[in-house]
Amino acid sequence: MPPHIVVIAVVDGVELLDAAGPIEVFSTADRLLNKDVPGYKTLIAGPRPGLVRCAGGTSIAADLSWKDLPHEIGTLVVPGGLVFDESGVKALEADSLVQWLATPAAHGASRIASVCAGAHMLAAAGLLDGRRATTHWATAAQLAADHPEVTVEPDAIYVRDEHVWTSAGVSTGIDLALALVAHDHHAELARRVARWLVMYMRRPGGQSQFSELLAYSSATDAQIARLQAWIPDHLTEDLSNDALAFRAGLSVRHFSRIFRQQVGVTPGHYVESVRLDAAARHLLHTGNGLRTIANAVGLGSVETLHRLFKQRFGVTPAAYRERFTAGGS
């Protein structure tokens, strides 16, 4: 049977991992599939055949140009690029690729996907009009400002809106490609691919591409560092300032001051963040009810879980579970 054609559309300035991550997933899936079912054939397309210069200075070879692509494209993947200048980080937008994406040849792909800031080029070509989408956290505000017709979900690892899929920053192209493999075949094949690539099928941090905990410092003070390691396994215990200060062998005032100096936030804020991250993992990986989850992470009540979760993630716990346990749809 004919293979599913995957086209990776690249331009100068593309992030290498944006392209290489999905390529590796699809090629591994093809090797692991039984030969009595359609596999994947991956093509790299550029403005012309030959080398395309990546953002980091390396190159990737385009097999053919966009105008020479086969008529039947199963999945069109648009990797992105990040441009750094004195004003900050911006998404790469290559006019030549945007123009091709606006043609019937691109629109006719059975499925369209972007990786990282590639969403900006899909949006510029009109492919995200009226749709939900995500991009790299550093360019999410730019996507929302430049394309108000797109509903930007800056916290998601990937978003599916009918046949259009978008993923977050750089390595999340691998998460997206695994989800596409699971959608095409079954979750077990995606798990086998993940094991083959020695990576998580699901990220430990859930679907958030920018966990608040990642922004906090790891303490260099031994007492505070031990507490940071101890807290996640003892969420149902008393984690008040008084209790943590006593465990650290410090006065409450001195403990609060040194914790904030070392970690960057108050002990109370840090504990709340750990509990909410744990709640998000429960929502994704268990079928437990909200009361059970609230008790398991030490938040005490459904009302507290609901209020803090919505403040942190922008959606209710129920909406988070529905959105991210249904294949990103």
Q: Could you read off the pLDDT of 246-262 as tens digits, one per residue?
A: 999 999 999 999 999 99
b vs e for 149-167, b when ≥16 Cβ sit within 10 Å of the residue's Cβ?
A: ebebbbbbbbbbbeebbbb
For residue 29, count other CB atoms closer than 10 A to its CB. 25
285 and 151 part of one domain = no
Give the integer Cα–Cα distance in Å for 235 and 226. 15
305 and 180 part of one domain = no
Domain membership flag for residue 247: yes
192 and 216 part of one domain = no
Looking at residue 207, its pLDDT comes to: 52
Q: Whole-model pTM?
A: 0.71
Domain membership flag for residue 207: no
| pLDDT at position 65 over 60 | yes
Give the integer Cα–Cα distance in Å for 317 and 306. 6
Looking at residue 255, its pLDDT comes to: 94
67 and 185 part of one domain = yes
231 and 164 part of one domain = no
Name the domain boundary from 148, 172, 196: 196
Number of structural domains, the chain?
2
Name the domain boundary from 196, 227, 247: 196
Task: Over range 139-160, report the average pLDDT.
Answer: 92
Identify the DSSP state of 233: G
Full residue range of the structural domain in which residue 251 is found: 212-329
Check which CATH number belongs to the domain holding 221 and give it: 1.10.10.60
164 and 92 part of one domain = yes
| pLDDT at position 206 over 50 | no
Domain membership flag for residue 95: yes
191 and 216 part of one domain = no
43 and 185 part of one domain = yes
Q: pLDDT per residue over 170-192, tens digit each?
A: 899 999 999 999 999 988 899 89
Give the integer Cα–Cα distance in Å for 83 and 247. 47
Q: pLDDT per residue over 107-128, tens digit each?
A: 999 999 999 999 999 999 999 9
CB within 8 Å of 145: residues ≥ 6 apart: none
Task: Over range 301-323, report the average pLDDT.
Answer: 87
Q: pLDDT per residue over 276-297, tens digit each?
A: 988 988 887 789 999 999 999 9
Task: Over range 221-248, report the average pLDDT.
Answer: 92
Beta-bridge partner residues of 191: none
Give the integer Cα–Cα distance in Å for 277 and 272. 9
